[in-house]
Amino acid sequence: MKSYRKELWFNTDKRLDFINITPQINHCLKESGIREGLVLVNAMHITASVFINDDEGGLHHDFEVWLEKLAPHGPVTQYLHNRGEDNADGHMKRQIMGREVVVAITDGLLDFGPWEQIFYGEFDGRRKKRVLVKIIGE
Amino acid sequence: MKSYRKELWFNTDKRLDFINITPQINHCLKESGIREGLVLVNAMHITASVFINDDEGGLHHDFEVWLEKLAPHGPVTQYLHNRGEDNADGHMKRQIMGREVVVAITDGLLDFGPWEQIFYGEFDGRRKKRVLVKIIGE
Amino acid sequence: MKSYRKELWFNTDKRLDFINITPQINHCLKESGIREGLVLVNAMHITASVFINDDEGGLHHDFEVWLEKLAPHGPVTQYLHNRGEDNADGHMKRQIMGREVVVAITDGLLDFGPWEQIFYGEFDGRRKKRVLVKIIGE
């Protein structure tokens, strides 16, 4: 069994943002030399997500509106967590969008359907945060 | 390390549907000959889910009502994504229910609690869509 | 490839509860002797979750209020599932919080960001329930 590990760093301009990281994951996969196995991609921070969905700007806008409705940022005083912080909503948004994805590797490629793309979802940005890429296989 | 891969195809009559795919996954596992490892089961489409929950019709009805409340299908014009499409809600419902499950394999069996069953969750059906089964182990 | 399996048992006093199980997972990891690989930690019951977030009491209170808003326990008669049971909301809360986490193992340690902690999330407690820990690697 071979294993591979890499950290990807992000620092978004906005508090909430979605970044397509599929090219970086493809690069990691090539670098690993692993042709059969699994890749785990996870946010290393608890107000961020890694998820798989569509690379379509309209949908990303819809996601933002929807997440704000399900877990509103303000008023920040509605959350006990926001004593000295203001990111309780980010912890919730990340639960809906998920911490991680696990993707099959087949013949040295991400084994994806036609529209699957991997995104970093930031819910408390404007600072440096990390994603972990771990690949195991042969 | 051994690996195994299979695609399962679905074409539901309804836009939203839940299908118990545990028998198919058990069949894959037997076919793979793998006795210790992990199985990844994921929707290959971004308006569908694979999740583990109860095989109880009342609950599936409740899930449908609940998902419709959290991410309503209509009015379809409320979503920017719905320019030429009408499935923005399906992308959201899939985030709540999840893209994938990872299940332990022990002694050649799915290592499940008493009520765990694997479901394909369809949120934009009436066309052919796929689930990926990837097993790694020994 | 080595593999390791352990069940952890819980019996919470409250219907809804969050328990930090990171120490137990660290103990399993040490016991396994596995230094590179993946650990899967999943609820074996369908009204419970395993998730990664912050070990902060205010946030856990916020999670409870938030989950109750998204998937209210009562009135229990609003759910078809609640014929002889009253836990339909627990099945929903578990979908939001997730069934499982997959964590990278690097150099014999959980490969975590600064604040990541693993929690058992109980949504229908006051009885014995289990979490599965499965580790594969070398």
B45, B107, A91, A5: which is closest to C51 by C-alpha?
A91
The count of CB pairs under 8 A between chains A and B is: 93
Interface probe for A, chosen from B95, B131, B135 (most Cβ of A below 10 Å), is B95
- Cβ neighbours of B36 in C, within 8 Å: 1, 3, 136
Q: For residue A121, give both structure tokens.
A: 């979802």
Give chain B's mean pLDDT: 98
Q: For residue A57, give both structure tokens.
A: 């700007």
Do the chains contact at C46 and B38, CB–CB below 8 Å?
A: no
C22, C23, C10: which is closest to C101 by C-alpha?
C22
Q: Who's near A97: CB < 8 A, 6+ residues apart?
A: A49, A51, A63, A67, A121, B95
At residue A138, the 3 state secondary structure works out as: coil
- Positive or negative, the CA dihedral C56, C59, C65, C67 is negative
What are the b/e assignments for A36-72, b being 16+ CB within 10 Å?
Answer: bbbbbbbbbbbbbbbbbbbebeebbebbbebbeebbe
| Contact B65/A at CB under 8 A | no
Residue B126 neighbours by CB distance under 10 Å: 12
Contact criterion met (CB below 8 Å) for C130 and B113: yes
Identify the band that residue C33 occupies on the pLDDT scale cut at 50, 70 and 90.
very high
Contact criterion met (CB below 8 Å) for C49 and C97: yes
User: Which chain B residue lies closest to A57 (C-alpha atoms)?
Assistant: B81
Q: Who's near B101: CB < 8 A, 6+ residues apart?
A: B40, B41, B42, B50, B51, B52, B118, C99, C100
pLDDT of A83 reads 96
In the numeric block, the tokens 């205010």 are attached to C58
ipTM of the complex: 0.98
The residue ranges of chain B whose pLDDT is under 50 are none
Do the chains contact at C102 and A132, CB–CB below 8 Å?
A: no
DSSP class of residue A90? H
Angle between helix axes A88-97 and C88-97 (nearest 10 degrees) is: 100
Q: Who's near C68: CB < 8 A, 6+ residues apart?
A: none
Contact criterion met (CB below 8 Å) for A126 and A10: no
| B 77-116 → C contacts, CB under 8 A | 96-98, 101-104, 106, 111-116
DSSP class of residue C130? E
Do the chains contact at B46 and A52, CB–CB below 8 Å?
A: yes
In the numeric block, the tokens 């069996």 are attached to B109
Dist. CA A7–CA A22, nearest whole Å? 14
Query: pLDDT tens, C6-31?
Result: 999 999 999 999 999 999 999 999 99
Identify the band that residue A104 occupies on the pLDDT scale cut at 50, 70 and 90.
very high
pLDDT of B56 reads 98
DSSP class of residue C16? S
Percent of chain B with pLDDT over 90: 100
Distance from CA of A6 to the nearest CA of B (A): 22
| Contact A31/B at CB under 8 A | no
Query: pLDDT tens, B93-116?
Result: 999 999 999 999 999 999 999 999
Query: pLDDT tens, C63-119?
Result: 999 999 999 999 999 999 999 999 999 999 999 999 999 999 999 999 999 999 999
Do the chains contact at A5 and C58, CB–CB below 8 Å?
A: no
Contact criterion met (CB below 8 Å) for A94 and A123: yes
Do the chains contact at B36 and C88, CB–CB below 8 Å?
A: no
Residue B59, judged by CB atoms within 10 A of its CB (0-12, 13-18, 19+), counts as buried
Q: In angstroms, what CA-CA distances link C71 with C50, C61, C74, C75?
A: 18, 15, 9, 11
pLDDT of C111 reads 98
What are the b/e assignments for C67-105, b being 16+ CB within 10 Å?
Answer: beebbebeeeeebebbeebbbbbbbbbbbbbbbbbbbbb
Residue A95 neighbours by CB distance under 10 Å: 23
Q: Which of C66, C112, C114 sits opposite A71 (nearest CB)?
A: C66
pLDDT of A82 reads 98
Q: Read off the pTM.
A: 0.99
- Cβ neighbours of B59 in C, within 8 Å: 79-81, 88, 91
Residue C24 neighbours by CB distance under 10 Å: 17
Do the chains contact at B98 and A101, CB–CB below 8 Å?
A: no
pLDDT of A62 reads 98
Interface probe for B, chosen from C4, C69, C128, C136 (most Cβ of B below 10 Å), is C136
